[in-house]
Structure 1
Amino acid sequence: MADIAVRPMTADDADRVLAIYQAGLDGGNASFETVAPTWAAFDAGRLADHRFVAVDTDDIVVGWVAVSPTSSRAVYAGVVEHSVYIDPAAQGRGAGRLLLEVLIAATEAAGIWTIQSGVFPENAASLALHQRAGFRVIGTRERVGRHHGRWRDVILLERRSPTIA
């Protein structure tokens, strides 16, 4: 992992972030979405203080993580939903783990007590990554949506902060 660093995401990262997002979508097991959004839509839907990119030694973005609020209600102010995507060519180098470590530290420092996500059961690498990062399986939403003409289940994961009471 010495060749991977994490830094805040900026608008200059847009092309790489969206290309990595699209590569994940093209793989078929990352999201119900099939086309990455525009940068304007991506930017508007994610909290600015909790977006990070993993970069290699040439400062090329190889992965990203970002969060969205789960609700506008004040009671859920400390709950976010996250996404993490790694360039297929960079998978297995520790970028996902580093991104989640930085995200967890940043969200806890901001008083966020729960990070949640939904992952397709077929995405074994993502499930293992999240469990190593302290996420637990909450349950499975069976046949929650259709994707490429077939029903898909989603495994719900969450990480509750042990430091925020």
Structure 2
Amino acid sequence: MTAGDWPQVEAIYREGIDTGHATFEAAPPDWADFDAGKLPVGRLVAVDDGAILGWTALTPISARPVYRGVVEHSVYVGELARGHSVGRLLVSALIEAAEDAGIWTIQSSIFPENLASLALHTRLGFREIGRRERIALMTYGPLAGRWRDTLLIERRSASDPLS
């Protein structure tokens, strides 16, 4: 993913936001803020005939060195590409890139209503490790004003230093 990809990436991000089941964020950041907050590894796009179909990115969970191998990931698939294995291809490639970079834990928070994302992650070796009840207040869309739960999921690498 590059700055040149940002217009298409941002549009897919906005589509995810519009579902009300992808993020608590009400709008995508600008490229500079997105770029500053993401790791260089794991910035992937799925492309078909020049059109970006989906994307992934990794964010460190902490600046503390002890957490250097633990990240949070994002995966977004464009509306027209959903249900065509784009998410599976992206997350599989993300896992491979993360492991090659020495990352041993990938985590994410997913709304319980996002059944497709939960199923995808389960198929790729993620497990639910907890439910965060009423963790944050939704500020936009049809669920604005509602406190939302999220499910915390993680995937541990086969090269997990604790294995």
**Both proteins in one fold, TM over 0.5:** yes
The structure 1 residue matched to 2:147, chosen from 134, 146, 151, is 151
**Once superposed, what is the RMSD of the aligned Cα atoms?**
0.7
Partner of 2:141: none
Report SS of the residue matched to 2:74. Answer: strand
Partner of 1:162: 158
Determine if the alignment matches structure 1 residue 10 to structure 2 residue 2: yes
TM-score (norm 2): 0.94
Partner of 2:21: 29
Listed as ranges, the gaps of 5+ residues in structure 2 are: 139-143
Instruction: For 1:39 and 1:114, locate their aligned partners in 2 and report how far apart those are by CA, in whole Å.
Output: 26
The structure 1 residue matched to 2:129, chosen from 138, 141, 155, is 138
Say whether the 8 Å CA contact 2:105–2:160 is kept in structure 1: no
Partner of 2:107: 116
Partner of 2:78: 87
Identity %: 58
Alignment-mate amino acid for residue 88 of structure 2 = R
Say whether the 8 Å CA contact 1:108–1:164 is kept in structure 2: no
Instruction: For 1:48 and 1:69, locate their aligned partners in 2 and report how far apart those are by CA, in whole Å.
Output: 11
Q: Kindly tell me the number of residue pairs found equivalent between the two proteins.
A: 156
TM-score (norm 1): 0.93
Deviation at 1:49, TM superposition (A): 2.1
Instruction: For 2:35 and 2:23, locate their aligned partners in 1 and report how far apart those are by CA, in whole Å.
Output: 18
Divergent runs of 4+, >6 A = none
Instruction: For 2:108 and 2:116, locate their aligned partners in 1 and report how far apart those are by CA, in whole Å.
Output: 14
Partner of 2:91: 100
Listed as ranges, the gaps of 5+ residues in structure 1 are: 1-8
Alignment-mate amino acid for residue 29 of structure 2 = P
Partner of 1:78: 69
Deviation at 1:164, TM superposition (A): 3.4
Instruction: For 1:143 and 1:69, locate their aligned partners in 2 and report how far apart those are by CA, in whole Å.
Output: 24
Alignment-mate amino acid for residue 147 of structure 2 = W
Deviations for 1:111-153, whole angstroms, at most 9, x for unmatched residues? 1000000000000000001111110000100000010110100
The structure 2 residue matched to 1:60, chosen from 41, 51, 54, is 51
